[in-house]
Amino acid sequence: MIEILKILNEISSYRTLKIKHSERYDFKKSDNAYLVKTGALLSFGENNFTQLLGEYDPIGFSEIILAKSKKLKYKTLSDLELYSFSGSKIRDEVNNSHIVVKSIIKYSLARIFGNRNSKGHYLLEDQFVSKYHNIFRKLNFIQGDKIFICNQKPRGAYYIEKGSVAIITNNKKHLADLKAGETFGESALISGKLRNNTAIANSSTSLIEIKSKTLKGQIDLETPIVKLSLLSVLKRLELMNKLRMTDDFRF
């Protein structure tokens, strides 16, 4: 859905940064966010979960938008070339973006930084969902209902307002149970690829769906920096959800 190369071609205000494999680069020292152009590195936090980052994966966008200190650490696995973007420019443009796009970014950031039980975000208010009904809609399921199935074309991404959702792999393995405040299906807003898993309601469940097809029209009106920031935040959330699912599956 969001074409990263097209976005990068539209952005003039970035620079490139080259880091040798042997170099210890401190990503915390500057008010910049990064995108991997070439090379690979590992990210890890306090829980010691590692995530392999490669081409076009984001570094620091989520923290930069909120002007938070960067907590993740990184280990280079090869020589790196990165795109580097000004933190102040990212914050200015995100804050001036359309309320729908800005709300998706802010809500996703709340999920990333652990505010999973918050119900006060504007995105969840009935008035907001009703006003932008062409992009958001509320869905209700009973126990056993399939929200989507493997190899299905995606409609959008989902926030769980109440209830619980089971994620089942293509080979019928139970991957994870997601609960209120968690998200799934973000890849629909990133790539539009067919579903990798099946999602089933564990109980009476209410979701907010962000419809990818109609959202695209609004995203197309945003600046390239806002598009890149949305893409990067959703990618970070998707990576974190995969880590959480992996941890649930392991134990």
The pLDDT tens digits for 3-48 are: 788 899 999 889 999 999 988 888 888 899 999 999 999 988 766 6
The residue assigned the tokens 């999973």 is 116
Structure tokens at 40: 């690979």
Q: Sorting pLDDT into bands at 50, 70 and 90, what band is 123? A: low
Average pLDDT over residues 63-74: 89
CA–CA distance, 200 with 131 (Å, rounded to integer): 28
What confidence score (pLDDT) does residue 219 get?
A: 86
CB 64 within 8 A of CB 71: no
> For a pLDDT cut of 90, what percent of the chain falls above it?
41
So what CATH class is 4-90?
A: mainly beta
Look at residue 118 and tell me whether its pLDDT is greater than 60.
no
Would you say how long the chain is, in residues?
A: 251
Torsion angles phi and psi, residue 40, rounded to 5: -145, 150
CB 154 within 8 A of CB 212: yes
At 127-155, the pLDDT tens digits run 788 888 888 889 999 999 999 999 999 88
pLDDT band at 249 (very low <50, low <70, confident <90, very high): very low
Q: How is domain 98-221 classified at the CATH fold level? A: Jelly Rolls (2.60.120)
Q: Tell me the pLDDT band of 198, cut-offs 50, 70 and 90.
A: very high
Q: How confident is the model at residue 119 (pLDDT cuts 50, 70, 90)?
A: very low
Reported as a single tens digit per residue, the pLDDT across 36-68 is 999 999 988 766 678 899 999 999 999 999 998
**What are the structural domain ranges in the chain?**
4-90, 98-221
- Judge if 4-90 and 98-221 fold alike in CATH terms: yes
* Confidence (pTM): 0.81
30: its two tokens: 């500057």
**The pLDDT of residue 117 is above 70:** no
Classified as helix, coil or strand, 216 is: helix
